[in-house]
Amino acid sequence: MADTGILESLLRHLEKVDDGVDSQAVAALLGVDHQVIVGAVKSLQAIGDVISAEQQTSKHWELTEEGAEIAAQGSHEARVFGAIPEDGLPQSELMKLPSGKVGFSKAMSNKWIRVDKAHEGGPRVFKMVESINDLVREKLLRVQQGKSQLEEKEKNELKKRKLLTEVTVKSYWIGKGSSFSTTITKQETELTSEMIASGSWREKKFKPYNFESMGVAPDCGHLHPLMKVRTQFRQIFLEMGFTEMPTNNFIESSFWNFDSLFQPQQHPARDQHDTFFLSDPALAYEFPQEYLERVKTIHSQGGYGSQGYKYDWKLEEAQKNILRTHTTAVSARMLYKLAQQEQFTPVRYFSIDRVFRNETLDATHLAEFHQIEGVVADYGLTLGDLMGVLHQFFTKLGITKLRFKPAYNPYTEPSMEVFSYHEGLKKWVEVGNSGVFRPEMLLPMGLPEGVSVIAWGLSLERPTMIKYGINNIRELVGHKVNLQMVYDSPLCRLDS
């Protein structure tokens, strides 16, 4: 806040004028620097509509530092002239004077002085005229005092000599504001406890806040967007009565990951190019023996109404440890466990956890991603039930327009790809995969004949990337994440 004295002086002056005043004129009048008045204008503006102020620019000529010196002490040539006594001065001494060099040549060309080069004791300088008229100084003085204007030619010549310069001045045209008053009340910036205690806040005026600016960011931690979406999916499953499966086993045997799901041992997914195999621990040794025999039989010979795949099923292949390629390996373990119960009870299971693929990586594919999986087991479940459950599930994600395409999965039959209509792209896009687990998978486990198990899966990353508008998966998952994105990501509400 500018000095209150200046503010009041400015206001009193303003009171006297009708249509306003230029800030530079006020500065001259009050004998203060222009910047002081500018400060006062800004302070008054901040208080409210005490004054009106309109910025304007003007140009004027001003003396340079050297110009000011000349205005005070005379031009270099005049100073040289003045330094020469009647009997002259040796040129060498004259050159030592501050104005010597410049002044000498100018005084020479003005024919004010002469040099006697033949003088004994070296060249000597003598006055040629009695008195001189220092025009340069006069002109500069006229500019300095703001009196009569110089001609364009004169100004340019002085500018060339770097004595004058043209400056642009920003000033204000100041007028009375709608709440003009010559007295100002000091404004308080903030309410204090003292004001509250004393009640003085009643008399105070408070400086208005700038509501245009941003607030100060709170000092806090942030949850990762993918994990926020995971939380929502967990919530949805829990709302639908699903129980979470223990998927905390990234290492799985080929037996549970493939064989138990009736996925044949020559299936391309079991290729080195698609799956991460382990060198240590390379093999699994413990299996439920009777069940393993039944799995072997269904693959190699068939049974339970199935032709089987009719190939030579090898235990060594099933023993190979891998990084699980899907959480369905855990579903298989859970369904096997369910089948060992004395009496079957219907279940709904879900999981959201990491799976691993030894695939070629690109902007949307990583070697690991999160799979979301839902499983329902009960007597007499139909394909229509699967569609109904999917409809309920996707409705909770805000997706209501669904249709289903026949598809192929080694361990489900029927199998359906789930498509939803994308309003932005104006086309149907695949949002998940689903199916009814094959009897060749369920019956060897020991589940009762009439029990159907329906299941579906989707990735967690894809809906998250769509939700948060992320194009490259590396910006979302892994250490290359942009933390600013994490800090800035909004809440996750999937259905809005």
Partner 1 sequence: MPTVSVKRDLLFRALDKEYTDEEFDELCFEFGLELDEITSEKDIILREQGDVKAEGASDVVLYKIDVPANRYDLLCLEGLVRGLQVFKEKIDAPHYRRVPASSGEPQRLIITEETVAVRPHAVAAVLRNITFTPERYESFIELQEKLHQNVCRKRTLVAIGTHDLDTLVGPFTYTAKPPGDILFRPLNQSREFTATELMSLYKTDSHLRHYLHIIEDEPVFPVIYDSNGVVLSMPPIINGDHSKISLNTKNVFIECTATDLTKAKIVLDMVVTMFSEYCEEPFTIEETEVVYPDGRTILYPELEYRTEILSGDLINTRVGISEDAESIARLLTRMCLRSEVQGDRIHVEIPPTRSDIIHACDIVEDAAIAYGFNNIVRTTPRTYTIGNQLPMNKLTELLRMDLAAAGFTEALTFALCSQEDIADKLGHNIAEMKAVHIANPKTAEFQVARTTLLPGLLKTVAANRKMPLPLKLFEISDVVLKDETKDVGARNNRRLCAVYYNKSPGFEVIHGLLDRVMQLLDVKPGKREGYHIQAADDATYFPGRCAEIFAHGMSIGHLGVLHPDIISRFELTMPCSALDVDIEPFL
452 near partner 1 (CB under 8 A):
yes
| Shortest Å, Cβ 220 to partner 1 | 6
Q: Quick one: which of 391, 422, 433, 446 contacts partner 1 (CB under 8 A)?
A: 391
Number of residues that bind partner 1 (CB under 8 A): 100
Of residues 99 and 415, the one with the C-beta less far from partner 1: 415
E strand or H helix that includes residue 89: strand 89-90
The answer to whether the peptide bond before residue 414 is cis (omega within 30 degrees of 0) is: yes
The interface with partner 1 within residues 9-28 (CB under 8 A) comprises none
The interface with partner 1 within residues 201-220 (CB under 8 A) comprises 219-220
Of residues 416 and 492, the one with the C-beta less far from partner 1: 416
Stretch in the footprint of partner 1 (CB under 8 A) among 69-77, 182-190, 193-201, 221-229 = 221-229
Give the C-alpha distances (Å, rounded to integers) separating 172 from 17, 177, 434. 15, 14, 73
Q: Quick one: which of 406, 424, 469, 490 contacts partner 1 (CB under 8 A)?
A: 406
The interface with partner 1 within residues 318-377 (CB under 8 A) comprises 321, 323, 346-348, 354, 356, 358, 366-368, 376
| Shortest Å, Cβ 179 to partner 1 | 43
79 near partner 1 (CB under 8 A):
no
**Is residue 322 within 8 Å of 254, Cβ to Cβ?**
yes
389 near partner 1 (CB under 8 A):
yes
- Quote the CA–CA distance of 101 and 344 in Å, as a whole number: 114
| Shortest Å, Cβ 436 to partner 1 | 7
Task: Please name every residue paired with 407 in a beta bridge, in sequence order, or none if there are none.
Answer: 415
**DSSP H stretches of helix in 20-163:** 23-30, 34-47, 65-73, 76-83, 91-96, 100-109, 135-144, 152-160
Of residues 406 and 424, the one with the C-beta less far from partner 1: 406
The interface with partner 1 within residues 222-281 (CB under 8 A) comprises 222-224, 226-227, 231, 234, 237-246, 248-253, 266, 268, 272, 276-281
Q: Which two tokens stand for residue 260?
A: 């138990």
Of residues 81 and 287, the one with the C-beta less far from partner 1: 287
E strand or H helix that includes residue 252: strand 251-253
- Quote the CA–CA distance of 75 and 67 in Å, as a whole number: 9
**Is residue 7 within 8 Å of 26, Cβ to Cβ?**
no
Task: Please name every residue paired with 376 in a beta bridge, in sequence order, or none if there are none.
Answer: 348, 454
DSSP characters for 152-163? HHHHHHHHHTTS
Of residues 199 and 490, the one with the C-beta less far from partner 1: 490
State the greatest distance between any 2 C-alpha atoms of the chain, in Å, as a whole number.
Answer: 138
Extract long-range pairs of 313-317: CB within 8 Å, 24+ residues apart. 313/259, 313/265, 314/265, 316/283, 317/254, 317/259, 317/265, 317/270
The interface with partner 1 within residues 467-496 (CB under 8 A) comprises 476-484, 486-487
453 near partner 1 (CB under 8 A):
no
Task: Please name every residue paired with 417 in a beta bridge, in sequence order, or none if there are none.
Answer: 405, 433
Give the C-alpha distances (Å, rounded to integers) separating 453 from 252, 379, 385. 22, 8, 11
- Give φ, ψ of 59 to 5 degrees: -115, 145
Of residues 81 and 411, the one with the C-beta less far from partner 1: 411
Q: Quick one: which of 405, 429, 448, 466 contacts partner 1 (CB under 8 A)?
A: 405
Of residues 139 and 370, the one with the C-beta less far from partner 1: 370
Of residues 9 and 260, the one with the C-beta less far from partner 1: 260
| Shortest Å, Cβ 294 to partner 1 | 15
The interface with partner 1 within residues 132-171 (CB under 8 A) comprises none
- Quote the CA–CA distance of 376 and 350 in Å, as a whole number: 9
Considering only CA atoms, which of 496, 493, 483 is closest in space to residue 222? 483
Of residues 156 and 266, the one with the C-beta less far from partner 1: 266
Q: Quick one: which of 113, 416, 455, 492 contacts partner 1 (CB under 8 A)?
A: 416
| Shortest Å, Cβ 150 to partner 1 | 56
Of residues 99 and 257, the one with the C-beta less far from partner 1: 257
The interface with partner 1 within residues 287-316 (CB under 8 A) comprises 287, 302, 304-311
221 near partner 1 (CB under 8 A):
yes
**Is residue 274 within 8 Å of 360, Cβ to Cβ?**
no
The interface with partner 1 within residues 421-440 (CB under 8 A) comprises 436, 438-440
Of residues 84 and 245, the one with the C-beta less far from partner 1: 245
Stretch in the footprint of partner 1 (CB under 8 A) among 60-68, 76-84, 106-114, 412-420 = 412-420
